[in-house]
């Protein structure tokens, strides 16, 4: 078996390369290349490990003909074109927890530096001045800290602030009342936070909804004399408006580790009294850099070797422990999706994936992605579990999932149903011997069959001699039958014939099969 090949294109802890090698990957560490050099090189690699320097653009992704996964050692993936990577079927992962403590500690450090004017006092003192009366700070004890964003980093900042005896209020649309209680904060709306907070720290990604969340209008709503810290993402604060608010005294101090344009070689904020800044140092500790490098190596190795998916931004997570158990189910799901996609006709607007018995206890998201990969392969080339959900969304397909706790005839069952102009059409399958995918029902007719290779599907009126006529037709045309599967609703009623054959069936043979007495539908299938 050929080893997966990984490129580390940015500087990171050397132990990352050792992890790749120990896990069975070939790894090259080639850093500092320009885009043209990377484009020329990337085609031979299955995995790409980066930090912030490498920009993974459309051009690079087009050249990355073997690429399966990109891993960012760190949380921010602004340097990766995720939508285009998804369309190319490339998994994009980050390591959101490796530098969480480091970033949270930096936010607390910046807050304390603001509260006691430490940078300016340091500069003054080293200049030979002793301006003790000039630097009158404030305590943080008893003050209210407003968190904009209460996810992983925000919750760590909250715990540190509570340890400093601060009160903490938080605005986060995804924060539940239960989680707020658990981390010891009060959940509030943004306007409430702005009017109540003595200090504000930001811990949210940059999205269309969060861009300039501290706009000129919102800065005007803040409590006069507020101090603001941003160690999250540039662009969350209107920097020109922040400059005005500092000059007017509406904002007593601001500390930024991030800027809208980086590297920030110039800014209207530079030189402003009570403004301090650092060059995006949030993740810059020895511990954090080691952590994210090791984590990205482990995550990429898990995916390339075992199929495990951790911290992916464009597909469902699947642990390395789950992957072996789910793999046969995913094979079944993909085949059922492919089958219903090949057989159902017309304008398909809805697909439903049902799990029953043992399948109901599994992680359903990878199974849904596998069904869609099989289904969408009938409409587009180069489809996999990463881009299939995006392609389905582009087609306007409504995807529904249903989990049944009951156990029916089969210990475990997957059912895929599509809505067609002729009504719903469903297929169902199970696993035999824990890992053998098997079709057990097609459009309401019970039939047991393996879905492999080239197959012939026929719906006919049940009648004596029909099987013999099909066998004769295939034999006369030199087509060998591998397996033979039958199902019917009732004696003399509608019947289904599913054959595996050793080669593709010519169109002329399909036409001849259509002309056989009692035949309603003939379809060549391929898996």
Q: Give tens-digit pLDDT for 14-58.
A: 999 999 999 999 999 999 999 999 999 999 999 999 998 999 999
> For the domain with range 100-277, which CATH number is right: 3.50.50.60, 3.30.360.10, 3.40.50.720, 3.30.70.360?
3.40.50.720
pLDDT in tens, 271-314: 999 999 999 999 888 888 899 999 999 999 999 998 888 888 88
Domain made up of 5-96+287-306: CATH architecture:
3-Layer(aba) Sandwich (3.40)
5-96+287-306 and 453-527 have identical folds: no
Sign of CA dihedral 223, 228, 232, 237: positive
| Rg over CA atoms, the chain | 30
| CATH superfamily placement of domain 321-451 | D-3-phosphoglycerate dehydrogenase; domain 3 (3.30.1330.90)
Counting Cβ atoms within 10 Å, is residue 320 exposed (0-12), middle (13-18) or buried (19+)? middle
Out of 23, 203, 233, 425, the active site residue is 233
Confidence band for 381, pLDDT divided at 50, 70 and 90: low
pLDDT in tens, 422-441: 788 899 999 988 788 999 99
- What ranges make up the beta strands (E) of 83-140? 91-94
In which element (H, E) is residue 513 found?
helix 507-514
Contact 469/516 with Cβ under 8 angstroms? yes
Q: Is the entire prediction scored with pTM above 0.75? A: no
Q: What is the pLDDT of residue 382?
A: 63
Out of 262, 287, 321, 452, the active site residue is 262
On the question of pLDDT at 196 being above 80, the answer is: yes
* 262: annotated active-site residue: yes
Overall average pLDDT of the 232-252 stretch: 96
On the question of pLDDT at 122 being above 90, the answer is: yes
C-alpha–C-alpha distance, residues 354 and 50, integer Å: 38
- What ranges make up the beta strands (E) of 319-444? 350-357, 398-404, 412-420, 423-432, 436-442
Q: What is the pLDDT of residue 276?
A: 97
DSSP notation for 169-216: EEE-TT--HHHHHHHT-EE--HHHHHHH-SEEEE-----TTTTTSB-H
Among 63-67, 87-91, 221-225, 323-327, the least confident range: 323-327
On the question of pLDDT at 88 being above 90, the answer is: no
pLDDT in tens, 476-508: 999 999 998 998 888 878 899 999 999 999 999
Q: How far is CA 162 from CA 5, 390, 470, in A?
A: 46, 42, 78
* 280: annotated active-site residue: yes
Out of 23, 72, 227, 280, the active site residue is 280
Q: What is the pLDDT of residue 192?
A: 97
Q: What is the pLDDT of residue 271?
A: 94
What integer best gives the mean pLDDT of the chain? 91
Instruction: Return the domain boundaries, the chain.
Output: 5-96+287-306, 100-277, 321-451, 453-527
The candidate with the shortest Cα–Cα distance to 45, out of 58, 23, 61, is 61
CATH number of 453-527: 3.30.70.260
On the question of pLDDT at 147 being above 70, the answer is: yes
Token pair of 518, please? 């009692």
């Amino acid at each position: 078996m050929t080893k997966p090949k990984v490129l580390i294109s940015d500087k990171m802890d050397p132990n990352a390369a050792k992890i790749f090698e120990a896990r069975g990957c070939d790894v090259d560490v080639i850093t500092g290349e320009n885009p043209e050099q990377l484009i020329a090189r990337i085609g031979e690699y299955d995995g790409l490990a980066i930090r912030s320097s490498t920009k993974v653009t459309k051009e690079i992704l087009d050249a990355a003909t073997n690429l399966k996964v990109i891993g960012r050692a760190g949380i921010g993936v602004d340097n990766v074109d995720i939508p285009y990577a998804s369309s190319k079927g490339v998994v994009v992962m980050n390591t959101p927890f490796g530098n969480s403590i480091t970033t949270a500690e930096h936010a607390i450090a910046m807050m304390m530096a603001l509260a006691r004017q430490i940078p300016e006092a340091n500069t003054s003192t080293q200049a030979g001045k002793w301006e003790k009366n000039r630097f009158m700070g404030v305590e943080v004890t008893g003050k209210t800290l407003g968190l904009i964003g209460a996810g992983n980093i925000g919750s760590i900042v909250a715990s540190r602030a509570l340890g400093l005896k601060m009160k903490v209020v938080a605005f986060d649309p995804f924060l539940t009342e239960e989680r707020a209680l658990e981390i010891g904060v009060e959940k509030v709306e943004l306007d409430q936070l702005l009017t109540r907070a003595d200090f504000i720290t930001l811990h949210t990604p940059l999205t269309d909804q969060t861009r300039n969340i501290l706009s000129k209008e919102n800065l005007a709503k803040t409590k006069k004399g507020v101090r603001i810290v941003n160690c999250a993402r540039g662009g969350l604060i209107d920097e020109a408006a922040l400059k005005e608010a500092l000059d007017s005294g509406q904002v007593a101090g601001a500390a930024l580790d991030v800027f809208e344009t980086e590297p920030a070689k110039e800014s209207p904020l530079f030189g402003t009294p009570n403004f301090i800044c650092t060059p995006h140092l949030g993740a810059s500790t020895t511990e954090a850099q080691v952590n994210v490098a090791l984590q990205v190596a482990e995550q990429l190795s898990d995916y390339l070797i075992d199929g495990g998916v951790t911290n992916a931004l464009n597909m469902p997570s699947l642990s390395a422990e789950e992957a072996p158990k789910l793999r046969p189910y995913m094979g079944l799901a993909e085949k059922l999706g492919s089958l219903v996609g090949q057989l159902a006709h017309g304008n398909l607007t809805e697909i439903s994936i049902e799990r029953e018995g043992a399948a109901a206890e599994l992680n359903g998201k990878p199974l849904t992605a596998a069904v869609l990969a099989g289904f969408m392969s009938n409409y587009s080339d180069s489809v996999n579990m990463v881009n299939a959900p995006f392609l389905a969304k582009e087609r306007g397909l409504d995807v529904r999932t249903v989990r049944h706790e009951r156990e029916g005839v089969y210990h475990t069952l997957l059912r895929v149903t599509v809505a067609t102009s002729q009504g719903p059409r469903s297929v169902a399958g199970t696993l035999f011997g824990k890992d053998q995918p098997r079709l057990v029902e097609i459009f309401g007719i019970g039939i047991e069959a393996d879905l492999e290779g080239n197959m012939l599907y026929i719906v006919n009126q049940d009648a004596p001699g029909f099987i013999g006529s099909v066998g004769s037709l295939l034999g006369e045309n030199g087509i060998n039958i591998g397996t033979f599967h039958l199902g019917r609703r009732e004696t003399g009623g509608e019947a289904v014939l599913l054959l595996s054959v050793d080669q593709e069936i010519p169109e002329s043979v399909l036409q001849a099969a259509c002309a056989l007495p009692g035949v309603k539908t003939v379809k060549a299938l391929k898996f």
